[in-house]
Amino acid sequence: MALERFLLELLEDPTDHGTLLYIENSSVLYNPRKKVAYEVRGSIPVLLPEESRPATDAEHSAWTSDVTAVTTGL
């Protein structure tokens, strides 16, 4: 399930407070600066640093070049 546009405007990375990329087809919010992915479970973003995971180089390349990715924040 996709995240609401209103929610995406409010979200930021919990550690560096920067914007994230929402990759709907992978169900993740991705911080390309730190190469960290946060899972989206259903329609709930899990933005807990201890539940994040490092992105692979292939994921980083795919996600940063995904034209459907939505940048969070205002």
Q: What is the DSSP string of the chain?
A: -PPPHHHHHH---TTT----EEEGGGTEEEETTTTEEEEEETTEE---GGG-EEPPHHHHHHHHT-TT-EE---
Total of domains in the chain = 1
Which pLDDT belongs to residue 1? 62
pLDDT, tens digit, 9 for 90 and up, residues 13-64: 999 999 999 999 999 999 999 999 999 998 899 999 999 999 999 999 999 9
- Is the pLDDT score of 74 beyond 80? no
Domain that holds residue 22: 5-44+56-71
- Is the pLDDT score of 9 beyond 70? yes
Q: Are 65 and 58 in contact (CB under 8 A)?
A: no
Q: Looking at the domain assignment, is residue 62 inside a domain?
A: yes
Q: Looking at the domain assignment, is residue 51 inside a domain?
A: no
Which pLDDT belongs to residue 49? 97
Which pLDDT belongs to residue 44? 94
